[in-house]
Chains A and B, each alone.
Chain A
Amino acid sequence: MSGSTTIPSPTAAPAGFWASKRRNEKITRIVVTALLIVGSAIMMLPIAWMLSTSFKTRTDVFAMPPVWIPSPLHWENYPTAWNVSGMYSTEDWSFLGIPFHGVTFTTYTLNTLTIAVLSCLGTTLSSSVVAFAFARLRFPLRGPLFILCLATMMVPPQVTMIPTFILFKSIGWYDTFYPLIVPAFLGGGAYNIFLMRQFFMSIPYEMDEAAKIDGCSNFGVYWRILLPLCKPALATVAVFSFVYNWNDYLNPLIYLDTNSKKTLALGLKNFVSLYGQDYHLLMAASLLISIPIAVIFLVGQRYFIQGIATTGLK
């Protein structure tokens, strides 16, 4: 395990002790590597299956035993899947004032990006602002308020879902992006506040004091001193919030109605209902939708794994 750096013992070890220990370690390493390779293969099998299916024709998809590498590769499945939704919806829509005709996955992607980027921004900003107050400022009821904040983690979103829906509907936000974006600017949820606070707490308080002596306001301490030191935590919150909003299904399902306003998750669901047996197209679309998340994860993992490790849990 972790104590595997072998320091020669000052006292005499029985003959062959170190040799047998080294041999044991070598055997362990071989077994572990074998297990990891088998495990990784199992984890990757569904993705390989998805990739393989996405290049087949409608009839090849159901062949048994399956052909893993279809020949020829049907690349055209990707553009077909991307644009096929336009076949059933010829709605006109616009993005940033530019008019478009026909709803395709392009529409859904732009909608999802709008929601995910703005929510991500809102969550990162507002959770760090609130966390700063909890971590660094003294005010009455600080303890009880923080406990209240943590307690909200136990509330399943389905409890607040119905009254919140009625509230947003009554102020005319039904079928708009507001219900999906505005809440992110209001603290970004207890978990993110907690994560940011833990990170702030790990930064020495002398930093703030030095800045204050130099004439920095509370906001200045937050913005110029603490935020730049919190990049791993901010990256963690940003990545998780972006991924959450990218994948979110229940909220868009409740609030969005017009086809041209729907997100990728809803678009894909529509696609399943309409072309449920066209697995080659479904896999192509699913794969395209998952790629941005995989890329963000691969780019950000160094930061946010550090973020989880240093801020969390213990």
Chain B
Amino acid sequence: MTSAEQKEAISAFIFLSPFLVWMVFLMGGPILAAFFLSFCKWDILTPIQFVGLDNYKEMFFNDPRFWKALFNTAYFTFLSVPIGMVLSIVVALLMNQRVKGIGIYRTLFYLPSVVGAGVAVAVLWKWIFNADSGLLNYMLSLLTGIPIADCPKWLASETWSKPALVIMSLWGVGGGMIIYLAGLQGIPSTLYEAAEIDGANRWQQFWTVTLPGLSPVIFFQLIISIVASFQIFTQVDVMTDGLGGPADSTLVMVLYIYQKAFKYYQMGYASALSWILFIAILLATWLQFKYSKWVYYEGELRK
């Protein structure tokens, strides 16, 4: 290394120092600590006790609530992610048309997703899902003629509580829409012109130009939204008052981790749960990369 290079490296590490501190103390260290804790029993007050694989054994063979939480999380993910994805692509396609006032429509669709992650929105939806006087059942009975008393009880029903969470999550399609819109606008218009000259109709253009052109964005969104929906917490905690009810039907992984760690002070068991969540997310992401042949990268052609 020349002295100029050395100087540059030193100043680089000064610029990097906030990140390095974070990496060691708030990321790497805690991951390892959580891994270690997952083999221990600890309530913070009494000394740590090493228990080997006991937490994991308990979890897999003796804890129906763990399986319930895993199932509920997967149920929510597999329902909300595909529906949300299709909806936000459809909305983005509509938004990509030249019609008057498109800026207003974009804002109206995007706004809920911005405000959407907070407690305020969870409170709003709790009220919308109210079985007797809520907006959703009112609209349902207005449109279908079913009396309100026979409509789903939503958050008060074991069957309908998870679909209710999915419906609420769909109100945030605007977030995905913006990203797909950026993707759509990045597809060169020459490709559409070429397709048109070749006699492709709208539908064929969608399948042969739009979808392949959008596939890297779809892939990115798929990964991000699966990771995010594995972590759903705020809405469930607020709407079910921290219980995940009725009858554990909305007990999701993060809520269960939170309960174990900060209500029952089972830090070891909660750490084991968090590692399972971690592995589930890694596995889901890895599978998506493994089966990502459908993703079309324009740059690859040029190689």
Task: Give the B-binding residues of A (Cβ under 8 A).
Answer: 1-4, 28-29, 32-33, 35-36, 39-40, 43-47, 49-50, 53, 61-66, 126, 129-130, 132-134, 137-140, 142, 145, 148-149, 152, 154-167, 183, 185-187, 193, 218-219, 222, 243-244, 246-247, 249-250, 253-254, 264-266, 268-269, 272-273, 279, 282-283, 285-287, 289-290, 293-294, 297-298, 301, 305, 308-309, 312-314
Contacts and interface: CB of A to CB of B under 8 A. Distances in A.
B171 A46 contact: yes
A38 B277 CA distance: 39
B108 interface: yes
B233 A250 contact: yes
A162 B261 contact: yes
A126 B18 contact: yes
23 contacts: A3-B192, A36-B94, A40-B104, A40-B108, A45-B139, A47-B112, A50-B124, A62-B132, A63-B133, A64-B132, A133-B15, A133-B16, A139-B13, A139-B16, A160-B26, A250-B258, A253-B258, A269-B238, A286-B123, A287-B120, A297-B111, A297-B114, A314-B186
Nearest to B286: A154
Contacts, number: 282
B30 interface: yes
Contacts of A264: 119
A272 B115 contact: no
Question: Interface majority SS on A: helix, strand, loop or mixed?
Answer: helix
Contact of A53 (B18, B127, B258): B127
Nearest to A239: B114
Contacts of A2: 96, 185, 187, 189, 192
Question: Interface majority SS on B: helix, strand, loop or mixed?
Answer: helix
Interface residues of B, number: 104
Interface in B135-158: 135, 138-139, 142, 148
Q: 7 closest Cβ contacts across the A-B interface?
A: A247-B118, A186-B22, A163-B33, A160-B30, A139-B12, A133-B15, A163-B30
Given A43-B112, A156-B227, A246-B118, 14 more contacts: A36-B95, A39-B109, A43-B108, A49-B128, A53-B127, A139-B8, A160-B27, A162-B37, A163-B30, A186-B19, A218-B15, A243-B117, A286-B121, A289-B119
Interface hub of A29, A162, A164 (most chain B Cβ within 10 A) = A162
Contacts of A290: 115, 118, 120-121
Interface string B97-131: 11110101101111110110111110111111010
Contacts of B138: 64-66
Interface in B222-244: 227, 230-231, 233-234, 237-238, 241
A312 B179 CA distance: 9
B11 interface: yes
B269 to A, nearest CB: 10
Contacts of A282: 123, 127
A279 B278 CA distance: 37
A18 to B, nearest CB: 13
Nearest to A130: B19
A253 B13 CA distance: 35
Interface hub of B19, B33, B282 (most chain A Cβ within 10 A) = B19
Contact of B8 (A137, A148, A269, A308): A137
Nearest to A243: B114
A133 to B, nearest CB: 4
A68 to B, nearest CB: 10
A40 B109 contact: yes
B183 to A, nearest CB: 7
B54 to A, nearest CB: 17
Interface in B172-187: 174, 178-179, 182-183, 185-187
A8 to B, nearest CB: 14
B153 to A, nearest CB: 15
A159 B274 CA distance: 5
B119 A265 contact: yes
Given A44-B108, A283-B127, A301-B110, A249 B120 contact: no
